[in-house]
Amino acid sequence: MKIKFIHIVFIIFISLKISAVIFTNYINGLNITSISSSDISSNSYNFISLDSIYNHLKLSKLISDSIVVKSIDLGKIESKILEIPYIDEVLSFIDIESNFKLEIIEKKPIIDLKNYDFILSNKGEIIPRINDLSLSIKSFFGKVDSVTFGDLAKLGNYISNDNFFINHINYIYSDSTSFYFSVNDFDYYVKLGDLNQFENKLKKYKGFYAAKVNADFLQNFNNLNLNFNNQVIAQMK
C-alpha cells in the first residue's frame, strides 16, 4: 500500500507540473510582445539590411510593432524570408520571456559572373547582382551552361580557400571549348580544359610554378596548358 501511495503522489506531482507548463505556455501565448529590427540578426550585411527584412515581414502582415505572441506563425515567417533570393538559411523562435528572435544567414558570394546580371554563391546558386555593391571575389568572363554553375562554384571555393591561388589568380574566363585563368604579375594565361579534376590540375600548376619561380624565366611564357595527365605544357612567346 505504501508503494502504491508513493506512486499516486508521484503521478499527481507530474500532472501538476505538466498542467503548470501548459498554463504558463497558454498565458505566455496571450502576452503582447513588441518586435523591431533589433530582434533580427544576420551573419553579414552584404546584400540586405535588417530594416528591410523587418519591413518585408511587416508588409506581409506576419509581424507588427506590437503583436500577440500566439499569433506569430514562425513557419510562415521563415518561408517568407526564404523567398528573398539573398537568403540561404533562417531560424526563428520565441524565447521563454515571449521575445521574438530571427536569425538569418545570407548566401555567400563566390564568383562574379560578369556576363550575367547575377553572381554565383558558394553552393552554385544564383544571387541577383546589386550594382553598387563591391565584393572581394574572383570575376568570371564568358557564357556557361547553368549545369556548370555547381562546378564553377567549387572552383571558386577552392581558389578562395587557398592562400596561393587567391592572390595569384586574377580572373577566370571561358570560351566554347575550355576554361582558363589569368594570373597577376605575369602575362601568360593558363588553360584548365574542362572542370573535371580541377583540383589535381591546380595542384600540378602550383608545383610547376614553385619549380619555375624565377620571374625572368616565367616572363617567357605565352600560355600554360594543364589539360594533360601529370604534366604542364608550356608555350613560349
pLDDT at position 94: 87
pLDDT at position 32: 59
Q: Is the pTM of this model over 0.75?
A: yes
Sole residue written with cell 608555350: 235
Indicate the CATH number for domain 109-236: 3.40.50.11690
Q: Which residues of the chain have pLDDT under 70?
A: 1-32, 45, 213, 215
| Residues 235 and 221: beta-carbon distance below 8 Å | yes
What are the extents of the domains in the chain? 1-30, 31-106, 109-236
- Taking the C-alpha atoms of residue 217 and residue 162, their distance in angstroms, rounded to an integer, is 24
The cell for 146 is: 547553368
CATH architecture of 31-106: Roll (3.10)
| pLDDT digit string, tens, across residues 15-66 | 555 544 444 444 444 455 778 888 899 987 679 899 999 999 999 988 888 8
